[in-house]
Chains A and B, each alone.
Chain A
Amino acid sequence: MKRTDDIIDSLVKDLKPVAPRALERRLALDLVVTLAVSLLLMLTILGLRVDMSEALMLPVFWIKSAYNALLAVVALLAVYHLARPDGSEGRFFVLIAVIFLAMAVAAAIQLMMSPGETYRVLILGSSALHCPFLIFAFALPVLAGNIWWLRRAAPTDLRLTGLIAGIAAGAAGAWVYSWFCTENGMPFVLIWYSLGILMTGLIGALIGPRLLRW
């Protein structure tokens, strides 16, 4: 066994200055790259939604986009804090509940303002079955990036960090997918998008303890 003195010697010899905000810069770089990969994949495989020019005028399109973007930002901030050994998830679960409830209110309002025969379209749309899986697919590059970044950081609650890193990736993937998806139902987004995000989160929680150990 090596002596502690020798280890200290070798560590001192190996010391290189650490730039302030080195951790943050790596995260930003990882995010830009993995989001770009995910967007490129979406554009080449699926393409933008066919009615893009009209969609840009629809409030529902932007609510859908904001829902995913907000979830992604909140989850990423929590991951950023959890990456430090003395960090915690803060108010992540409260914030995420608030965002989800706001979306539920939007969905309820849309349903109340619509005639009963449109409910099927607003809730199930035409893509309910594959939507969560496509979200998961576009989340994968971001999830890989998050894990890659976390492996060089020092999270101490591996399952929780994995879960939230997965939710962040899922929300980012959902945001990417929302540029293709033609569904205009808020209940659809509330159910199927959230399901895709949750699925990615659960995968994160599953692989976290294994991959994030240090």
Chain B
Amino acid sequence: MTIAHSEEALKTLMLLSLDGDEAAYRRLLNALRVLLVGYYSRRMGAATRADMEDLVQETLLALHSRRATYDRNRPFTSWFFSIARYKLIDHHRGRGGRMMAEVELGEDFESGFSEDAVTARMDVERLLDSLPAKQQEIIRQVKLEGQSVADTASRTGQSESAVKVGIHRGLKALAEKLRGET
């Protein structure tokens, strides 16, 4: 299943959800769940899987109960990742600040979800669109969502080395395209 994780696609789903469209809401939550797994796994090095699953669930619940705080005229992803970030910090705080240092380190990445980064991300999506569907999918999963090669391989039914080669070829093609453009 390919889910478009672009700002545009997610925002459209969110707007439909706010109007009560259940199918759109389900698609949105499933897409965000994948994004969250990537987001948290990059920031919780030593955390257990259960911890991360907890956080993903908590974040989805928070999105649900606070959905009235989304301003329809503003980017969706920056709103959403602000919630994810808050939940991550709150999670660490709940453990007596034991892992606060890790959060601080994460700040650099976090600021990557500013509006600039969102438009940059949209550019990346546009570039990706020019690749074959198979390569698009694995690059999105491994490079953008931060999933492991092994997970992606089993999800797409390929061998790990095929995924690695696919990513390598896809990135090379993108690099050539960029060089050609400038």
Question: Chain A: residues with CB nearer than 8 A to chain B?
Answer: 1-2, 4, 7-8, 11-18, 20, 22-23, 83-86, 152-154, 156, 213-214
17 contacts between A and B (CB under 8 A): A1-B53, A4-B60, A7-B57, A11-B25, A12-B22, A12-B25, A12-B26, A12-B29, A15-B22, A17-B18, A84-B69, A86-B78, A86-B79, A86-B82, A153-B66, A154-B69, A214-B62
Nearest residue in A to B26 (C-beta to C-beta)? A12
Contact of A83 among B69, B78, B85, B90 (CB under 8 A): B69
Q: How far is the CB of B97 from chain A (nearest CB, A)?
A: 13
Contact of A20 among B25, B54, B56, B72 (CB under 8 A): B72
Pairwise interchain contact B62-A154, C-beta atoms closer than 8 A: yes
Pairwise interchain contact B62-A1, C-beta atoms closer than 8 A: no
B residues 50-103 with Cβ under 8 Å of A?
50, 53-54, 56-57, 60-62, 64-72, 74, 78-79, 82-83, 85-86, 90
Secondary structure type dominating chain A contacts: loop
In the assembled complex, which residues on chain B have CB atoms less than 8 Å from the CB atom of A156? 82, 85-86
Bound CA span A23–B74, Å: 15
Nearest residue in A to B33 (C-beta to C-beta)? A4
Contact of A15 among B17, B60, B83 (CB under 8 A): B17
Task: Given A1-B50, A17-B18, verify A84-B79 contact (CB < 8 Å).
Answer: yes
